[in-house]
Structure 1
Amino acid sequence: MKFKLSGLLVVFTTGAAIALYAPTSVAQSSITMYGVLDMFGGYQNTKIGGKSTSMTVLGNNGELTSRWGLRGHEDLGGGYQVNFALESGFDPGTGSLQNSYRFFDRQAWVGLGSGYGEIRFGRQNTPMFAWSGNMDAFSAATYASGYNDFANWLARVDNDIAYISPKFAGTQVELHYSVGGKPGTLAGNAVYQAAIQTSQGPVYFSAAYLNAANAIASTRVQEIMLGGNVDYGMGKIYLGYFRANDIISATTGNALSNPAGKYDPAVGPVGNSAGQWHSTYSLSADYRVSPFFSVGVGAAYIKDSSSLDNDAAQWGAIANYDLSKATRIYGTISELKNYGTAQYKMTGASITTGTFLTPSAGQREFGAQVGFRHLF
């Protein structure tokens, strides 16, 4: 009898456990770890304080920002799924975090998707940042990208609620609202975004608009991005346009508190000083010499709409050689010319202190890189 009762207890316990965990075991889920390692040898030369100054450096984040991340997916059934992403940037040269104020500085969001699209909540990339590489032969990065050096778009936003539509006829729409978190106002520190991208045969085109306010909604930054590319068979021709009032033309600063999204979370996205309107124009092209080797050239110009006329121009060239699907060697060469008292500088995928020079007002700058990039 004792044995029978024990056996019944085992059967009951096992059956309860199966019933409890059956839904979880049926659902399809996955978690993927991924990342980027990018380092380069860089050289820059410019005049600072009337003196020719050169810098040779082992730098981080030339073509892509080094990072590691986790992304996950769970199938809920009925066409619904839960998705998430956590992503942290770092400098491989020192192992330090890209952003000392936060660990997952790049992305930290969770979303619910279906055939009607996806809704996401959390820290997210802006469409401008995500799509800018489709408008530039330099992928909107490296010393050589004038589009990246001049067009200072907001890269990512906290507390963002986003709707991402399904693709219809090659077209996708995104709508974003970032909750400012200021008591008594929905406008303070809020960020609004609307964007559309489409692929039609060999043609890709996208457009995005961003409107961000400071804590009391007295200063607003507005950004407009337009551009795309055409695949001509052996490469692509790229066009990029960006207009914003975030850059203060008399300096290298801007009205954005955090153009790269690296600010102290206690600080809002926009400061209290309005910037001047600037327009950036970019034209570039690449050519596939082989499936593994490509070259590209391009030029960009930024027009200061204020009376200061602090314009700037830049040309650049790049070569990419893929050792495998995951590993690339790249090299760039470029020259930037500042006019008036402008002080634009060559940066990269993510600025790291000590890996760039800031020219004196109105000075030229020359730069070159040889880099190594690995995806995992």
Structure 2
Amino acid sequence: MSKKIASACALVFCGVAHAQSSVTLYGLIDAGITYTNNLTGSAGNGSALQFISGSSQGDRWGLKGAEDLGGGTRLDFVLENGFVLANGKLGQGGRMFGLQSYVGLSGPWGALTMGRQYDLIGWIFPAYAVASNTPAGLLAWSLPTNAAGGYTLDNRVWGDEVDNSVKYMSPNFGGFSFGAMYGFGNIAGSLGTNSSTNFSVSYDHGPFSATLAYMAIHNVTTSANSVEYAAGTAYMIGKVRIFGLVTDVQLSSGAKQRATTFEGGAAYTLRPDLSLAAGYQFQKRNNDVGSANQLTLSADYFLSKRTDVYLVGALGHDYGYGAQVQAGYGSVSSTSTQVAARVGLRHKF
């Protein structure tokens, strides 16, 4: 018996020794000073000058790994933690790996992953958004996510993490690819409760790319489901990247709130170390709720390939709710307008 056990152990360790595997530590930290006017607060209305981290991109660190299983198949995993640089606290409600935690297989047939993952809209559409084609981040994510004076009609372009999800991404077929994702609600006796369904079709060839997507979420509120359609495109002309997208989100019950958001812009690489960008967003809503719009300008100077300093300015108008120029860390304006400016430092490792 001991010889059999020894032989089995030898086979296991032999397999491990010959497998090609790797684990990488990576991350991003962002810090800066943000000025915002017309803020509404418990101490009254006024302006604020604040130190805010994770505004351009959320602070994070993560581990990603891969193992070659042979025959062109590979095991992949990602464990990504979100935190707040300003005070060291965990993000995403204190989760250890609140941004992403998944494992899967990939090969010539595509990639299948399982766990907590970004939905397909959040995975793909930042490529067409003002917030991520510029260093604006939360200063440009606020309008599309504030469609109901909160986040009820979040259009998910900044990426919602979906628990208990299974995602498939196809290989490229002559420039075309597609994706499908299902988030299990994990509610006993009800398959649909708290579940989500997500599809995408993309085309990417040379300087042109475009994507269409659909997402349905059960119980996005206690009494309503949501349906979202999204379309985005980008084109590179020399040193200029032109980008744009449109999303439409509607709730299924009650007042059946609906928000349609358009955004577009351009980023110009003036020099290898300097980029200038501008973007405009417009949102219309049903139920006679006023529209909203925002203009965002930015300059991004690269000290190295991994470190940059940036300046962002944003002017927002919201005729249905008080304007809120910065998502997450901002607060509603005491008027229909709000201005914000930020200077920041970002490092990727």
Give the residue type in structure 2 aligned to 1:85: V
- Which stretch shows the higher mean deviation, 130-139 or 157-166? 130-139
Name the structure 2 match of 1:342. 321
Query: Computing the radius of gyration over CA atoms, which structure comes out larger, 1 or 2?
Result: 1
Q: Aligned ranges for residues 1-376 of structure 1 at < 5 Å? A: 18-46=10-38, 48=40, 53-139=46-132, 142=136, 146=140, 148-151=142-145, 152-154=154-156, 155-214=160-219, 219-245=224-250, 276-308=257-289, 310-339=290-319, 341-347=320-326, 351=328, 355-360=329-334, 363-376=336-349
Give the residue type in structure 1 aligned to 2:215: L
Indicate the structure whose relative CO is greater, using CA pairs within 8 Å and at least 6 residues apart.
Answer: 1
Distance 1:215 1:293 in 2: 41
Distance 2:114 2:228 in 1: 22
The Cα of 1:297 is off from its aligned counterpart by: 0.9
Name the structure 2 match of 1:269. none
The Cα of 1:344 is off from its aligned counterpart by: 3.8
Q: Check conservation: 2:140, 2:326, Cα contact below 8 A.
A: no
The Cα of 1:357 is off from its aligned counterpart by: 2.6
Distance 1:301 1:41 in 2: 26
Query: Structure 1's 307 and 17: CA in aligned 2 closer, same or farther, altered over 3 A?
Result: closer
The Cα of 1:225 is off from its aligned counterpart by: 1.5
Q: Check conservation: 2:142, 2:324, Cα contact below 8 A.
A: no
Instruction: State the superposition RMSD in angstroms.
Output: 2.6
Q: Check conservation: 2:32, 2:343, Cα contact below 8 A.
A: yes
Q: Check conservation: 1:237, 1:284, Cα contact below 8 A.
A: yes
Query: Structure 1's 298 and 306: CA in aligned 2 closer, same or farther, altered over 3 A?
Result: same
Give the residue type in structure 2 aligned to 1:282: E
The Cα of 1:215 is off from its aligned counterpart by: 8.5
Q: Check conservation: 2:323, 2:338, Cα contact below 8 A.
A: no
The Cα of 1:13 is off from its aligned counterpart by: 10
Query: Structure 1's 275 and 365: CA in aligned 2 closer, same or farther, altered over 3 A?
Result: farther
Give the residue type in structure 2 aligned to 1:153: N
Q: Check conservation: 1:146, 1:301, Cα contact below 8 A.
A: no
Distance 1:282 1:219 in 2: 26
- Which stretch shows the higher mean deviation, 30-39 or 197-206? 197-206
Distance 1:104 1:130 in 2: 17
Give the residue type in structure 2 aligned to 1:305: N
1:343 match: secondary structure: coil
The Cα of 1:347 is off from its aligned counterpart by: 2.1
- Runs (5+) with no aligned partner, structure 1: 1-8, 247-254, 256-271
Distance 1:207 1:147 in 2: 20
The Cα of 1:245 is off from its aligned counterpart by: 2.0
Distance 2:312 2:221 in 1: 43
Name the structure 1 match of 2:151. none
- TM-score by length of structure 2 reads 0.88
